[in-house]
Structure formats: C-alpha cells, structure tokens
Amino acid sequence: MTSRNRRIRGGWLQDDTWGAAVGLMDRIRGEFIDILEWTDDSRDTIVWRFPRYDNEIKMGARLVVRESQVAVFVNEGRLADVFPPGTYTLETQNMPVLSTLKGWKFGFHSPFKAEVYFVNTRQFTDFKWGTQNPVILRDPEFGMVRVRAFGAFAARVVDPAALLRELAGTDPQFRTEEVGEYLRQLVVSKLGSALGAANVPLLDLASRQEGIGQQLAGILSEDLASVGIAIPKFVIENISVPPEVEAAIDTRSRMGIAGDLDAYTRFQAADAIATAAANPGGGGEGVGLGVGMALGQRIAQGLTPQAPAPAAPAAAPAAPAAAVPPPLPTAAQWFIAVGGQQQGPYDAGVLAGQVAAGNLTRTTLVWRNGLANWQPAEQVAELAALFADVPPPLPPQ
C-alpha cells in the first residue's frame, strides 16, 4: 500500500474513493435546512420567500425572526403557522396548524417540506402621491374651484396572511413598486371626497392640511384592511389652485391692505407731491404747488363748521322759497379712463395728484356730470390749469 491510501475500519480506501464519499455526505447534509432567517438589505422588499428549492426543513431546525418581521409557513398552497419576532426550534408543539395539515402525530421528527415567507412589517415611507387631474371643490367664496395637491405617505403590513392571500401570492420577492401604483390610485380617489367632507374654505386649507391628512390616513387604512395594509402617516405637502384663482386672491389681498379706497387715493396723491417736489427739473414746483393748494382747500372745507339752517317757528307761516339760501355748490366729480378701465370719481385735488403720478395726461379721456361724452383732458377748460406746468409731448424726430 502507498501513502495515498487511507485506512477505514481495518481496511484501505484510495484517495479518489475517499473524496467521493465526502462529497456524497455534503450533498446529503445539504438536503436538510437547519437555519431559516432573512436579513433585508434592499429597503424596498415587503415579502421574501426563503429559497428552499427541493431541500427539506429538518425537524428541530432553528427559525430566526427579527424585529419588524413575521414568518409565515405555507403547506401545499394553504397558509399555516405565523411566527412573530423571536427564535424558535421547529417542533410539532409550536407548529399546530402545519402538524394538523400534514397529519403528524405527537413527537414526529422527520424532515418536512413547506414554503416559508418572511414579511417585512416596518413602515415604508418612500411612497409619493399627486393629483394628475385637478379635483373640483365647491367653495363658499370662490364657487367651483379646481385644486391640485401632492405629498407623501407611509404604509406597513398589519396582517401578513391577508397580504399573502390578496396581493403577494407566490411572488418570491414582493417589492414596494408592485403595490405603489395601486396605493397612489386609491389615495387620489379618496382625496376629493375627503376635502369635500372636511368642509374647509379654500383660504383655510393650508392651516388644516395636517388634520385632513390624518383623516385620510384613517379612511385609507379602513379600505386597505382587507389586503393587510395600513397607512400610519399621510402628509399633504401642498394644495394649489389655478392661476386665475391665485390672481383673484392677490387682488382681494391688495384691497384688504388698502382698506378705505378714498384714503388710499389721498395717500397716493400725497406721495405724488413728495415725488414731484424731489424732482425740481420736471416741473415739480408748479405741480406740487397746485396739488398742495387743492388739498389745502379740501382740508379747509372739512374743518369749516356748517351753519345749521334756522328752524321756522311752529306757529309762523312758511317762509317764502326765495328766503331760503340755496345749497352750497359741490365740487365736480371726475372720472378718468386708465388702461381701458374707468377710475374715479375724483375731485380736482385728487386729479392733480393723478397728473403728478402720470395717470392723467393731456390725452387721457375724462368725464363728469354735464358732459355729453368722454373728452381728452386738454380739451376741457376746467382742467387746463392742471397742465399749466406740464410740457406737451415732444415732437416726432
């Protein structure tokens, strides 16, 4: 015998025969699974099937279920036992459903075949949603309004058995992308009814987004209970309206800031005086003087007390009509056309401010009670004094 031979139980076995025997033992050991576990490194896998192939699970094998996992055993297409987080030694005592399905007697220790699914129960927070088409709402202030919205939500598995029956099936690796579109469609379908049921005015939606999101999370969780999924968090990042509605909101905001429009007009006139006075080369002295005089007259009129009309004695006969003084003349109220829009009415003092601001020029159309038609300002004799210090347009080059 050479050194290449080995002694086995009093006999001799060549190296080639020894190697074949070792390989056979490895294959036999590989037919049995001793440890079942799953470490997820994908961040998007919801269900993962343990790759058993044709191997059998050894009775007494160790099952490791980590936190945020659940293990589900399936026997010949039927759901059997469900294991929460923990470490288990697989025996007939802790697999009652599987033992019943297979007809095992107490103390059965032979290997068995079964499919093992690990279900991820942590929150998946990378779901986005958005309204591809606008949602129509009825607002008490703006009437029928089209709104768009977008945001994010989280989903988690709360019933692994229902998820396997209704969605995952026999998929060996069920990912979030396979259920994401279904969840987004469900979100959008519920958004309109949730916004309508909230009965919140359009201008208050921004302050109520969190409450509406919580309401939607509850509604969606109820609808998804049949497939084993819940929505623990729903976030509305933005609710937008069409440009024309935004313009209407901006206009209303400016009106609120302006407050009393007459006071706002007087403020503009006073600001125009200051601007004209700061520009001596542009005829500011004359314009400022004219506007100042007009405003002074208006203030004086407001400060002058009006004498009450004398009351006639009760027994005396009515005074003749000629004895009653006529009412004081009122200042003419003018309207001007700026940018195709009618503005006014303005008195002479305010018109002077409009001249200084550049809104009223010689060619601007004006009208007051008594004029048959709109006329250019330079053709109205009463307004000629406003343009005394304003140069005419330059002749064409």
Q: What is the pLDDT of residues 139-184, one digit of tens each?
A: 887 788 888 899 999 999 999 999 999 998 888 999 999 999 999 9
pLDDT at 295 over 60: no
Alpha carbon distance 291, 270 (integer Å): 9
Q: Decide if 159 contacts 225 (C-beta within 8 A).
A: yes
Q: Look at 173 and 314; give whichever has higher pLDDT.
A: 173
124-246 adopts what CATH topology?
Tetrahydropterin Synthase; Chain A (3.30.479)
What's the order of all strands across the beta sheet hosting 78-83? 78-83, 69-75, 115-120, 45-49, 173-175
Tell me what pLDDT residue 66 has.
Answer: 95
Mean pLDDT of 97-107: 80
Mean pLDDT of 366-373: 86
| CA angle at 170 for the pair 164 and 171, rounded to the nearest 5° | 95
Measured over the CA atoms of residue 205, residue 209, residue 211 and residue 215, the dihedral's sign is: positive
Q: Say which amino acid occupies 233.
A: K
Determine if the peptide bond prior to 85 is cis (ω within 30°): no
DSSP 166: I
Alpha carbon distance 258, 266 (integer Å): 11
Class of residue 148 by CB neighbours under 10 A (exposed 0-12, middle 13-18, buried 19+): middle
Domain positions in the chain: 1-30, 32-120, 124-246, 260-295+332-397
Class of residue 360 by CB neighbours under 10 A (exposed 0-12, middle 13-18, buried 19+): buried
Q: Decide if 150 contacts 128 (C-beta within 8 A).
A: yes
Helix axis angle, 261-277 to 284-303, nearest 10°: 140
Q: What would the pLDDT profile of 32-61 be if each residue is shown by its tens digit?
A: 688 999 998 888 999 999 987 777 888 889
Least Cα distance to 186 among 147, 227, 158 occurs for 227
Alpha carbon distance 118, 50 (integer Å): 7
Least Cα distance to 146 among 158, 133, 159, 136 occurs for 136
Q: What is the reported pTM?
A: 0.55
Least Cα distance to 62 among 83, 87, 98, 82 occurs for 87
If DSSP states are collapsed to H, E and C, what string results for 32-91?
EEEEECCCCCCCCEEEEECCCCCCEEEEEEEEEECCCEEEEEEECCEEEEEECCEEEECC
Share of the chain above pLDDT 90, in %: 24
